[in-house]
Amino acid sequence: MNELKNAYTILFVEDEKEIRQNYVIYLKKYFMDVYEAADGVMAYEIYKSKKPDIMIVDINLPKLNGIEFLKKVRELDHTTKAIMLTAHADVNYLLEATSLKLTKYLIKPISRNDLKEALNLAITELDKYEVSSKKILFLKDGYSWNYKTQELKGQYSIALTDKERQLLQLFFSNVNIIYSYDDIIITIWNDYEGDKISALKTIIKNLRKKLPKDTIKNIFGVGYKIEL
């Protein structure tokens, strides 16, 4: 790591407040965006909403321990880099952690130099190696969108029409912006023949029945946006 702040995002998960705060201050010297969590459940919620590039996770966490948290992440994501912190040198922990595709396993107490080396390794992996993986966007109420297969899932896979799938692909390509009616019509139909606004409203109405409540928000007179 150099003195220029890194563009990769990082999540630091540690239940001891003083330790967490000290490391977050340190990490903010090198990373633009640093998120923090005090337990495994909070960490998983932050992971789903922020999708950090690197996670530093203590093994002993309340509510959901570090191994269980990473198991949930690895169900769908094998690209996010993970560094595990633990006071255990027990072989059983080491064996269980091998299935989690860790960049590094660090035994406490951890020096800043050891952490820096582990972070440099994670950054090198992100810079040089592309891992083929499903990219998942997690929605409310256990729903998800798979960018690769363009599949919407709730408890089961949800049937979509071609136009519904194209519209979700557009909406989920950037959930932070408002898509104007014109943007949507050009993307979905590529022309203005017929009453496209009415057709669009019908698609939106049908999609709202298939998505968690209030996922698609109408911006009056402008267009639509996604709220996660």
C-alpha angle with apex 78: 2 to 76, nearest 5 degrees? 135
Strand order in the sheet with 31-37: 31-37, 6-13, 54-58, 81-86, 104-107
Strand partners, 58: 85
Q: Supply the pLDDT for residue 38.
A: 95
Mean pLDDT of all residues in 195-209: 94
Higher pLDDT, residue 16 or 134: 16
Q: Supply the pLDDT for residue 128.
A: 72
Q: Supply the pLDDT for residue 198.
A: 92
Higher pLDDT, residue 173 or 28: 28
Higher pLDDT, residue 26 or 128: 26
Mean pLDDT of all residues in 102-125: 88
CATH number of 6-128: 3.40.50.2300
132 band by pLDDT with thresholds 50, 70 and 90? very low
Q: Supply the pLDDT for residue 91.
A: 53
Residue 112 CA, chain-centre distance (Å), reads 27
Mean pLDDT of all residues in 117-134: 75
Q: Would strands 144-146 and 151-153 be described as parallel, antiparallel, or unpaired?
A: antiparallel
Amino acid at position 86, single letter: T
15 near 38, Cβ under 8 Å? yes
Alpha helices in the chain (DSSP H): 17-27, 40-50, 66-74, 91-97, 112-128, 162-173, 181-188, 196-210
177-201 confidence digits (pLDDT tens): 888 998 899 888 877 778 889 999 9
For residue 214, pLDDT beyond 80: yes
48-81 confidence digits (pLDDT tens): 888 899 999 998 899 999 989 998 888 777 788 9
137 near 147, Cβ under 8 Å? yes
Mean pLDDT of all residues in 134-157: 85
Q: How far apart, in whole angstroms, are the C-alpha atoms of residue 204 and residue 224?
A: 9
- Mean pLDDT over the full length of the chain: 86
Higher pLDDT, residue 158 or 99: 158
Q: Supply the pLDDT for residue 133.
A: 47
Q: Where in the chain is the domain with CATH 3.40.50.2300?
A: 6-128
Quickly tell me which residue has 């049908």 as its tokens.
206
Nearest to 40 by CA among 54, 25, 24, 59: 59
What are 133-138's contacts with CB under 8 Å, separation 24+?
A: 133/77, 133/78, 133/79, 134/76, 134/77, 136/76, 136/77, 137/172, 137/175, 137/228, 138/48, 138/49, 138/228
DSSP 211: S
Higher pLDDT, residue 97 or 145: 145
Amino acid at position 80, single letter: T
4-47 confidence digits (pLDDT tens): 567 789 999 999 999 999 999 999 988 889 999 999 999 999 99
Q: Where in the chain is the domain with CATH 1.10.10.10?
A: 136-226
Characterize 168-185 residue by residue with b for buried, 16 or more Cβ atoms within 10 angstroms of its Cβ, and e for exposed. bebbbeeeeeebebeebb
Nearest to 17 by CA among 61, 67, 68, 63: 61
CATH number of 136-226: 1.10.10.10
Q: Supply the pLDDT for residue 43.
A: 95
